[in-house]
């Protein structure tokens, strides 16, 4: 593990009006990786970025940059640059002047500035746009100028606040690739804010899931998708079937009145839990062979899969993704592997969760 480039330790942020936007945030950011802050609107993502960039001060806790505490370092002296939520390009300057802004402040030689700006514009695929006015650019182009303006200063960390949210679907997907590729080429640390879970899953090395001013879970996209820590994360990331259940013993869980073998352990006997089953982990078979039997309610073609909603005898709804449509009988059976069942404890802290997983995955 490389030495962290940024660390947030026990950060709490209370705004002047008394509203606590962040409470006890701990984050470790390693150099050269792509991080996402994922959470619903108002969860505090922008506030975290503003703290790192230095636009606002933490109420308590420490912010470290390469091991040095930078709580009191003004924004203009921090080696991070930001791509703002609505780009914040200077309307009175043209594209070149916008990108050159930081270099001009550093009083670089004219020739160097020119070369670096043009290189940066080439990098974001806007060569030839240097003399355009900002008002003459499309949203996607403005977004690239904002990125060029930030990376031309060669920051160690680039903060991006929902840079793609204003773009249409197609452009958004193109930009996701471009950004990811850019990050890998420049080897700059990216901290990318989004409320779009697909975007976060597709782009990141690591995701922090934020809600209500707290970090609920952090980890690789696969970890978070496969092992969500609680109801909120399971629901927010991907689609899922979440059911109340009871842990009868290690590796044995009961839900919808039946007992199943599972891969989770380390809980109290008969502890009430929640069980997650992802729709794509459910396989359709005949009613006789299924571990569960449901009645098909609706079936929709989604392009690459069929989305089936079934209802079991207790009235629970089941969401199933299947490559083939259900034909014939309305009663179908569902099967799944023990490791497809993911058990979540109520109110478990991330540290305890990680420790428990580690312990039981070893044996």
Partner 1 sequence: MKQSKRFFMIPYFIWIGLFVIAPLVLILYQSLTNTQHQFTLQNYATYGTSTTYLHMSLNSLWYAFLITAITLLISYPAAYFLSKLKHQQLWLLLIILPTWINLLLKAYAFIGLLSRTGSVNQFLTFVGIGPQQLLFSDASFLLVATYIEIPFMILPIYNAIVELNPALINASRDLGATNWQTFRRVIFPLTISGVKAGVQAVFIPSLSLFMLTRLIGGNRVITLGTAIEEHFMTTMNWGMGSTIGVVLIVMMFIIMALTNDRRKKRREVNDDEEN
Ligand X SMILES: Nc1ncnc2c1ncn2[C@@H]1O[C@H](COP(=O)(O)OP(=O)(O)OP(=O)(O)O)[C@@H](O)[C@H]1O
Q: Where does this chain bind ligand X (CB under 6 A)?
A: 15, 17, 19, 21, 39, 41-47, 195
Residue 217 and residue 209: Cα distance in Å, rounded?
5
Residue (196 or 223) nearer to ligand X, CB: 196
For partner 1, which residue of 76, 222, 324, 358 counts as binding (CB under 8 A)?
A: 76
C-alpha dihedral, 86 to 174 to 158 to 104, nearest 10°: -70
Residue (47 or 241) nearer to ligand X, CB: 47
Q: How many Cβ atoms sit within 10 Å of the Cβ of residue 159?
A: 26
197 binds, among ligand X, Mg ion, partner 1, none (CB under 5 to 8 A by kind): none
Residue (21 or 118) nearer to ligand X, CB: 21
Least distance to ligand X from the beta carbon of 41, Å?
A: 3
86 neighbors 166 (Cβ within 8 angstroms): yes
3-state secondary structure of 257: coil
Least distance to ligand X from the beta carbon of 40, Å?
A: 7
278 binds, among Mg ion, ligand X, partner 1, none (CB under 5 to 8 A by kind): none
297 neighbors 290 (Cβ within 8 angstroms): no
Least distance to partner 1 from the beta carbon of 249, Å?
A: 55
> How long is the chain?
363
Least distance to ligand X from the beta carbon of 45, Å?
A: 4
For partner 1, which residue of 44, 61, 102, 140 counts as binding (CB under 8 A)?
A: 102
Q: How far apart, in Å, are the Cα atoms of 41 and each of 71, 158, 164, 286?
A: 26, 21, 15, 43
Residue 261 and residue 161: Cα distance in Å, rounded?
43
Q: Following DSSP, what letter does each residue of 262-294 receive, concatenated?
A: -S---S-TTEEEEEEE-GGG-EEE-TTT-SEEE
**Counting contacts by CB under 8 A, is residue 54 touching partner 1?**
yes
Enumerate residues 121-150 that contact partner 1 by CB under 8 A. 135, 149-150
Least distance to Mg ion from the beta carbon of 43, Å?
A: 9
15 binds, among ligand X, partner 1, Mg ion, none (CB under 5 to 8 A by kind): ligand X
- Residue among 100, 58, 102, 51 at smallest CA distance from 76: 102
For partner 1, which residue of 75, 249, 300, 355 counts as binding (CB under 8 A)?
A: 75
298 binds, among ligand X, partner 1, Mg ion, none (CB under 5 to 8 A by kind): none
Tokens standing for residue 205: 């090395």
Tokens standing for residue 54: 């230095």
189 binds, among ligand X, Mg ion, partner 1, none (CB under 5 to 8 A by kind): none
Q: Which residue has the tokens 């773009």?
A: 167
Q: Which residues of 200-226 are buried (b: 16+ CB within 10 A; e: fewer)?
A: bbebbbbbbbbbebebbbbbebeebbb
| β-pair partners for 273 | 245, 345
Least distance to partner 1 from the beta carbon of 7, Å?
A: 20
**Counting contacts by CB under 8 A, is residue 346 touching partner 1?**
no
**Counting contacts by CB under 8 A, is residue 82 touching partner 1?**
yes
47 binds, among ligand X, partner 1, Mg ion, none (CB under 5 to 8 A by kind): ligand X
Q: Which residues of 234-268 are buried (b: 16+ CB within 10 A; e: fewer)?
A: bebbbebbbbebbbeeeebbbbbeeebebebbebe
Least distance to Mg ion from the beta carbon of 75, Å?
A: 17
**Counting contacts by CB under 8 A, is residue 91 touching partner 1?**
yes
Residue 356 and residue 263: Cα distance in Å, rounded?
12
Residue (18 or 74) nearer to partner 1, CB: 74
Residues of this chain that interact with Mg ion (CB under 5 A) are 46
Residues of this chain that interact with partner 1 (CB under 8 A) are 53-55, 74-77, 80-82, 84-86, 88-92, 101-102, 105-106, 135, 149-150, 153
């Amino acid at each position: 593990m490389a030495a962290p480039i940024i660390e947030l330790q026990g950060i709490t942020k209370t705004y002047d009006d008394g509203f606590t936007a962040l409470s006890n945030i701990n984050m470790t950011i390693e150099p050269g990786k792509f991080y996402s802050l994922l959470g619903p609107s108002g969860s505090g993502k922008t506030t975290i970025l503003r703290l790192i960039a230095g636009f606002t001060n933490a109420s308590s806790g420490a912010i470290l940059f390469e091991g040095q505490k930078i709580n009191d370092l003004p924004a203009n002296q921090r080696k991070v640059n930001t791509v703002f939520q609505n780009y914040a390009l200077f309307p009175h300057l043209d594209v070149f002047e916008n990108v050159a802004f930081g270099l001009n402040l550093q009083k670089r030689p004219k020739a160097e500035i020119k070369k670096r700006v043009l290189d940066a514009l080439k990098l974001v695929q806007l060569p030839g746009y240097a003399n355009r006015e900002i008002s003459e650019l499309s949203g996607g182009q403005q977004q690239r100028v904002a990125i060029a303006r930030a990376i031309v200063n060669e920051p160690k960390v680039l903060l991006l606040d929902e840079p793609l949210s204003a773009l249409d679907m197609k452009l958004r997907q193109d930009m996701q690739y471009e950004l990811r590729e850019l990050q890998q080429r420049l080897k700059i640390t990216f901290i990318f804010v989004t409320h779009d879970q697909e975007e976060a899953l597709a782009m990141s090395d690591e995701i922090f899931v934020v809600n209500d001013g707290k970090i609920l879970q952090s980890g690789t996209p696969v970890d978070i998708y496969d092992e969500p820590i609680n109801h909120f994360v399971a629901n927010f990331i991907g689609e899922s079937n979440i059911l109340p259940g009871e842990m009868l013993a290690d590796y044995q869980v009961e839900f919808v009145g039946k007992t199943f073998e599972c891969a989770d352990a380390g809980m109290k006997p008969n502890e009430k839990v929640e069980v997650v089953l992802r729709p794509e982990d459910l396989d359709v078979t005949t009613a006789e062979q299924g571990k569960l039997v449901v009645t098909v309610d609706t079936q929709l073609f989604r392009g690459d899969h069929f989305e089936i909603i079934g209802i079991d005898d207790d009235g629970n709804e089941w969401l199933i993704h299947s490559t083939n449509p259900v034909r014939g009988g309305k009663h179908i059976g569902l099967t799944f592997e023990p490791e497809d069942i993911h058990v979540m404890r109520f109110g478990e802290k991330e540290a305890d969760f990680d420790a428990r997983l580690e312990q039981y995955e070893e044996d």
